């Protein structure tokens, strides 16, 4: 009988130990499920980030192209405006040259007229 009690005690101990192991296994399974969900979420987020990067990189590239075209357009406009400004700045100089030439011509004509008048009057 003593042996039977000893065996019963060992069986009870094993059963109790088995129950503890089963509870631990349940907890581990729950943790594994949570880790799996997190892993899947991280994988999904990584894919979404990759897609966003592709989309935004394309968008940024198009913006750079637009900026480059606008820069070229601005350069052409500035060049055209510079030419117009140069022409406008030259107009007063041309007028002054014309006026100066006319004044010099009048002075020369007056001198010639004076010389001719002086010769003709004597």
Ordered DSSP codes for 30-75: HHHHHHHHHHHHHHHHHHHHHHHHHHHHHHHHHHHHHHHHHHHHHH
pTM for this prediction: 0.44
| 3-class secondary structure per residue, 68-80 | HHHHHHHHHHHHH
Radius of gyration of the chain (CA): 52
Half-sphere exposure of 106 (CA within 13 A, CB side): 6
pLDDT in tens, 40-89: 999 999 999 999 999 899 999 999 999 999 999 999 999 999 999 888 88
């Amino acid at each position: 009988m003593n042996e039977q009690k000893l065996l019963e005690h060992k069986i009870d101990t094993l059963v109790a130990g088995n129950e503890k192991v089963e509870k631990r296994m349940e907890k581990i399974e729950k943790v594994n499920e949570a880790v799996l969900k997190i892993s899947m979420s991280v994988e999904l987020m990584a894919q979404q980030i990759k897609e966003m990067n592709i989309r935004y990189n394309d968008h940024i590239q198009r913006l750079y192209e637009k900026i480059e075209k606008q820069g070229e357009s601005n350069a052409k406009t500035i060049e055209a405006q510079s030419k117009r400004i140069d022409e406008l700045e030259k107009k007063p100089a041309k007028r002054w040259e014309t006026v100066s030439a006319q004044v010099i011509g009048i002075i020369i004509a007056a001198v010639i007229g004076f010389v001719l008048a002086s010769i003709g009057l004597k």
